[in-house]
Structure 1
């Protein structure tokens, strides 16, 4: 194969690979955009519906609270109680039934009266919780005596002296028509989306398929998070083994979780057809590109072919003239050499930078665990004794929570600077955790290390660690081989001393007793 055919084959292959890569990348980008948009849309809708449901519970609790004030002065007048329950039942369609019960959970009045519960003592979960708690309550869904899956919403009734008389309650039948049912059902279905609602026991309390209401769902990551009080969005495989794009939010008043989702297959259905159309539209441009590549390959190969032909006839007198006429428009070999030298120089620079980055903590500029391991290996090999100081910022989480993580980072940077000021240049400084540091002091006795630690502790205590004002540190000290001949164990011993300093009140230095006892 000559150079022209080789270049042509490689460039055509490159063009085809680039085209395929472009189409694939475009497909992946659009696919991810569709998924992200669907996740965001479902999360926004679930959040909005959760807020609407929360408003509904606030509204009905206000209705019950007002009614509780009204009936408190006439709690022994059964006709008045019956009229009030009827008014509350007919005023809105928020409840499927209304009941007033006394402190023994006996029904004094109901609406509708067809329930025939007056005089009965309720033993249902909602009634017993309401009587025992004596506070506004939204119960978890449960099966009533009539076999309905209900939510019991109650408000205590107290007399003018604050004495508990009973409660006024409204029940919502989750499988029946009511305002809450219509609120949850009034959302879009045309794009394949739907939603469902679960309680704290993973039980479906609303679902487009009414027969699934009341069933318990396991193995659904969205439900796991939403009943834990986490709102968010994610791709999941639901309990029916269908890939879904779910957004979810919690209803604080009831602890319910609302999940809005759409099958991923439905979301991506139109993308395949779109990519096929893109491919067909790209073919004419691809054909023109291939012709242009063929022409470029011919132009590139021509001078090299002429030079190769001249190389075969170098013993003939006319060869020099023929080579002279070759139109060579490439960079000369010296330019290639310069480029390679430049590339080698840049490569060495990058290697040195990578080596530095591999051994340095990017936030504080101190060493990392690679630096620590390298120093330990060297000192063990050379039998160099050393003291180790384990340093930790006291209540650092409070700094992050109060001032933010950016402020916490600045505190760590200032601490690193003060550590360098209190120690020697030959000492090894490492950041081994979020706010935990190690200082290795070669050929340093424990009492000297203790002095260094106390100096550092006082410096940090008195320093202005803006924006966090003042912070303190705790320090644990061990020595090798004084604390233990085991090199790995000496670091754990320093950590144990650090934890002892924490337990004894923080802002202190603790030294391993074994090394203090040595002469």
Structure 2
């Protein structure tokens, strides 16, 4: 009887070393990339938040200084007028009315001005349409000013007669003998035409959703993009609570609608108001997603190269991969400077190490570059358009006279079309270098777009700006460039407030002057003229 033969076990499906190493390397790459992405994400998020908070705080501080300066100017105007009226020789109603009209119309500080005697009777008012002369004052704020017999500033309140929000500021009148005569007061309607509304009526800072609002000492909204919310009590807001305590700073906070915001805030010393500049936190998330997509794009090619090398030389790379993966894993988990890696005896490992180091350095450079790009033109290294627009708006808000020079490189399209964009870029960099060397400390030089540059010269008259522009034009014309031609420029000059009172109007006038220079034959400077 024959014995049964045992069946041989079927050979199982074995994984080749090449596939195993490819799988392992792929896993290590994905894990390392994830760690790098998480680390880069957190680092970039912190950097963007810090940059936004610092920028918002700087803007809030500048605006609060503007508000403080305006209130001090308003106070000085009233005080001067009160002293003048108290010592006028001609005290006829007509002469005082004319003086009040002049005071009100010359500054746009106040919507109306009243002169009240010590008994609360209105002696004069401007404009005359108020029709309050001879009436007894019923306003609690004016009565309080009369009672104090001193400088007075009311909290913003709703007028019972008009239903509009306003505040009242006054100065006492004393004659040469020290006898109290009454109060000279001005009212400011927050939603009417006046200096405050002109400066702070437009609350949007940029298209990203950043905006600012102003609150009173009691925590009520005075200026806000949503005009329907004016006088709304927002004292429960954490930022507003800090302002009411007289604090200034920056913080992440949630607004009354439950939206996370990055806020910079600054208190106004002269009246207890507060300025808050906020940016939606979701803007940071959008920028981070763009950043992560760039990182992924930069790491795809090294990964493909790495996978190919593993496929070809799997049997020689097993051990070196473990060492390299451990190093990359440590880099991803902790803040670590990459050590200087010496050439490896194994060529493939050496190539892979170089690729990983280059990818890491590239990620670091991209992170630093994105932060710099927020305020700088990449090609020339000058200030960019957004930063210049903010500087112009701040100078206008502070009522600091200045001139702008708009410079355009002549026939730049011909340079690009004839000699190529690389030559055109080199010309732009040379122009930027000449401009940067030609301005004073405190002046601002920006690339506004394409071949157009803008210079902001604080406290500079048009004639002085013309001298600067001509010096730049002649220097540029005499500068050698890597082209068989001379590079010239046309320039237009406009002055604030002579030629315009808004940023758009001022730059438009400078562009008109630039167009005149172009039409007149180029390579010249023109000051705007009506």
TM-score, length-scaled by structure 1: 0.54
User: Within 2, Cα distance between the matches of 1:101 and 1:267?
Assistant: 54
| Residue of structure 2 aligned with 1:272, choices 253, 276, 289 | 289
- Could you say which residue in structure 1 is the equivalent of 2:48? 34
- Could you say which residue in structure 1 is the equivalent of 2:451? none
User: Within 2, Cα distance between the matches of 1:231 and 1:125?
Assistant: 32
Contact 2:310–2:317 (CA under 8 A) maintained in structure 1: no
| Residue of structure 1 aligned with 2:127, choices 109, 112, 120 | 112
Cα gap change, 1:268/1:162 in structure 2, threshold over 3 Å: closer, same or farther? farther
- Could you say which residue in structure 2 is the equivalent of 1:283? 300
| Residue of structure 2 aligned with 1:145, choices 149, 160, 178 | 160
- Could you say which residue in structure 1 is the equivalent of 2:263? 246
User: Displacement of 1:148 after TM fit?
Assistant: 2.1
- Match of 2:102, SS state, is helix
- Match of 2:246, SS state, is coil
User: Displacement of 1:176 after TM fit?
Assistant: 1.2
User: Displacement of 1:219 after TM fit?
Assistant: 3.5
- Could you say which residue in structure 2 is the equivalent of 1:263? 280
User: Displacement of 1:278 after TM fit?
Assistant: 2.8
- Could you say which residue in structure 2 is the equivalent of 1:160? 176
Deviations 1:37-64 (A, max 9, x none): 1111111111001101111111111111
User: Within 2, Cα distance between the matches of 1:250 and 1:241?
Assistant: 24
- Match of 1:119, SS state, is coil
- Could you say which residue in structure 1 is the equivalent of 2:73? 59
- Could you say which residue in structure 1 is the equivalent of 2:36? 22
Deviations 1:175-225 (A, max 9, x none): 212111111135633332111111122111111222211111143211111
Structure number with greater Rg is 1
User: Within 2, Cα distance between the matches of 1:12 and 1:252?
Assistant: 61
Cα gap change, 1:43/1:299 in structure 2, threshold over 3 Å: closer, same or farther? same
Cα gap change, 1:269/1:8 in structure 2, threshold over 3 Å: closer, same or farther? closer
- For the pair 1:100 / 2:120, whether they are aligned, the reply is no
User: Within 1, Cα distance between the matches of 2:139 and 2:60?
Assistant: 31
- Match of 2:65, SS state, is helix
Of the two structures, which has the highest relative contact order with CA contacts closer than 8 Å and spacing of 6 or more? 2
Cα gap change, 1:161/1:271 in structure 2, threshold over 3 Å: closer, same or farther? same
After TM superposition, the structure 1 stretch with the greater mean CA deviation from structure 2, 129-138 or 266-275, is 266-275
1:226-245 mapped onto 2 (5 Å cutoff): 226-245=243-262
Contact 2:21–2:310 (CA under 8 A) maintained in structure 1: no
- For the pair 1:209 / 2:226, whether they are aligned, the reply is yes
The alignment yields a C-alpha RMSD, in angstroms, of: 2.7
Contact 1:12–1:293 (CA under 8 A) maintained in structure 2: no
Residue ranges of structure 2 left out of the alignment (5+ in a row): 1-13, 321-344, 347-530
Contact 1:74–1:80 (CA under 8 A) maintained in structure 2: no
Cα gap change, 1:290/1:219 in structure 2, threshold over 3 Å: closer, same or farther? farther
User: Within 1, Cα distance between the matches of 2:315 and 2:179?
Assistant: 101
1:70-469 mapped onto 2 (5 Å cutoff): 70-74=84-88, 77-146=92-161, 147-185=163-201, 188-292=205-309, 298-299=315-316
Residue ranges of structure 1 left out of the alignment (5+ in a row): 304-328, 331-519
After TM superposition, the structure 1 stretch with the greater mean CA deviation from structure 2, 7-16 or 205-214, is 7-16
Cα gap change, 1:232/1:182 in structure 2, threshold over 3 Å: closer, same or farther? same
Deviations 1:16-73 (A, max 9, x none): 1111111222222222222211111111111001101111111111111110111113
User: Within 1, Cα distance between the matches of 2:121 and 2:267?
Assistant: 34
User: Within 2, Cα distance between the matches of 1:27 and 1:244?
Assistant: 19
Contact 1:81–1:108 (CA under 8 A) maintained in structure 2: no
- Could you say which residue in structure 2 is the equivalent of 1:375? none
**How many corresponding residue pairs?**
305
User: Within 2, Cα distance between the matches of 1:296 and 1:108?
Assistant: 100
User: Within 2, Cα distance between the matches of 1:68 and 1:39?
Assistant: 43
- Match of 1:268, SS state, is helix
Cα gap change, 1:101/1:20 in structure 2, threshold over 3 Å: closer, same or farther? same
TM-score, length-scaled by structure 2: 0.53
User: Within 1, Cα distance between the matches of 2:170 and 2:313?
Assistant: 83
User: Within 1, Cα distance between the matches of 2:87 and 2:160?
Assistant: 30
User: Within 1, Cα distance between the matches of 2:313 and 2:117?
Assistant: 95
User: Displacement of 1:80 after TM fit?
Assistant: 3.2
Contact 1:124–1:145 (CA under 8 A) maintained in structure 2: no
Cα gap change, 1:292/1:38 in structure 2, threshold over 3 Å: closer, same or farther? same
- Could you say which residue in structure 2 is the equivalent of 1:450? none
User: Within 1, Cα distance between the matches of 2:106 and 2:98?
Assistant: 12
Cα gap change, 1:61/1:302 in structure 2, threshold over 3 Å: closer, same or farther? closer
- Match of 1:55, SS state, is helix
User: Displacement of 1:295 after TM fit?
Assistant: 6.5
Deviations 1:269-304 (A, max 9, x none): 23313422431332121122234456676226599x
Contact 1:202–1:216 (CA under 8 A) maintained in structure 2: yes
- Match of 1:275, SS state, is helix
User: Within 2, Cα distance between the matches of 1:109 and 1:273?
Assistant: 63
- Could you say which residue in structure 2 is the equivalent of 1:347? none
Cα gap change, 1:229/1:295 in structure 2, threshold over 3 Å: closer, same or farther? farther
- Match of 1:247, SS state, is strand
User: Within 2, Cα distance between the matches of 1:246 and 1:125?
Assistant: 36
- For the pair 1:47 / 2:47, whether they are aligned, the reply is no
User: Displacement of 1:7 after TM fit?
Assistant: 6.6
